Structure 1
Amino acid sequence: MAELGFSPEVVEAMLQFDAANFTWHRIATKGDVPTRILDEIGLDIDPIQFSAMAAINRIKWGIGRDAPEQVTIGALAEEMNIDPSRASRIASDLISRGLVQRQAAQDDGRKSILVLTDEARTAFRQYKEVKWRKQLEIFQGWSDEEIQSFTALYERFVGGLRRIYTESAEN
């Protein structure tokens, strides 16, 4: 970074950011965040199953996509970045637990789609309530300006990630 003209202070700040970002990523992807919240709401599933439920929700509502889609095993596998056989096993586990249902697709009765049950939607509502309570606890003591500044800078960072890693890969 110094060779690119960044000051020693900025190089140190970037290294500190990288370490903090790694810690956040590890906590989030290792499952610490969802595991604690799932335990608190009393939902006895593992983080990968909850991740699949969240993926079903994102696909259904078009979050992070161009438009909402019907949730097939293939779409679930793609969203979770896993192979279709693993996605099928996870979906089957969720179906046996009463959190997901298979339904016939409206446009093609031979195709089955995955739909969250009322129990799953209730679990999401509880999850969000606990998540927001914990998130607000993190920001306790931050000023309004600090929260707004952090949010703007983080959105800018994520926008850069999207531009560099996803949009450039699509072109």
Structure 2
Amino acid sequence: MTSGDDMTPEEEALLDGIGPIFARLRRRVPASRRDASRNLVLNIVADSRDEMTVGGVAEELGVDQSVASRMVSDCISSGYLLRAASQEDGRRTVLKLTQQGADLRECFAKGQREAFEQITEGWPRRERLQFARLLLRYVEDAALLRERERT
């Protein structure tokens, strides 16, 4: 189904509200701006199928390389990431998650799960799980779309 395919005005309005809703969801992240930035960077590095660079972080976040570099430098100086030589090209520097970074990422994930459970506590169990499955599917499909757009 795409927008305009025999949709009612109510259905169109529902889909039009998705963008602003996702923007509001992004604000419901870890407590501080620094934590939010770290969470984004750590997840990008950990979830990468390929070696991740500062340029790759910038591309994933849709920010300038200088912005991504500051975010990555913060994670490195805090002990959450380290720079390493690429196994594919020794001249290239890649990012690796440290154990401390993995622990912080797990802490963020736990907090986000708690927030999800609090937000949906009045929902029937079936709806809560269905929404979680659909949200995961959405994110996976969005990643596949980004991959197709890159190639």
- Scaled by the length of structure 1, what TM-score is found? 0.66
2:120 equivalent in structure 1: 139
Tell me, yes or no, if structure 1 residue 72 matches structure 2 residue 69.
no
After the TM superposition, which segments of 4 or more aligned residues of structure 1 sit over 3 Å from their partners?
3-6, 147-156, 165-171
Tell me the secondary structure at the aligned position of residue 45 of structure 1. helix
Could you tell me how far 1:117 is from its partner in structure 2?
Answer: 1.6
1:104 equivalent in structure 2: 85
Could you tell me how far 1:93 is from its partner in structure 2?
Answer: 2.0
Could you tell me how far 1:144 is from its partner in structure 2?
Answer: 3.6
Tell me, yes or no, if structure 1 residue 26 matches structure 2 residue 23.
yes
- Superposed, 1:8-157 pairs within 5 Å as 10-19=8-17, 21-29=18-26, 32-36=27-31, 45-59=34-48, 68-147=49-128, 149-150=130-131
Question: What letter corresponds to residue 56 of structure 1 in structure 2?
Answer: V
Question: C-alpha separation between the residues in 1 aligned to 2:130 and 2:86?
Answer: 44
Distance 1:154 1:99, change over 3 A: closer
Distance 1:22 1:110, change over 3 A: closer
Tell me the secondary structure at the aligned position of residue 34 of structure 1. coil
Gaps of 5+ in 1: 60-67
Cα-to-partner distance string for 1:76-128 (whole Å, 9 max, x where unaligned): 22222222232222212221222211111223332211112221111111111
1:62 equivalent in structure 2: none
Question: C-alpha separation between the residues in 2 aligned to 1:154 and 1:121?
Answer: 23
Report how many residues are paired: 145
Could you tell me how far 1:70 is from its partner in structure 2?
Answer: 0.9
Distance 1:114 1:13, change over 3 A: same
Identical columns (%): 24
Higher RCO structure (Cα 8 Å, ≥6 apart): 2
C-alpha RMSD over aligned residues: 3.2
Could you tell me how far 1:73 is from its partner in structure 2?
Answer: 1.8
Tell me the secondary structure at the aligned position of residue 96 of structure 2. strand
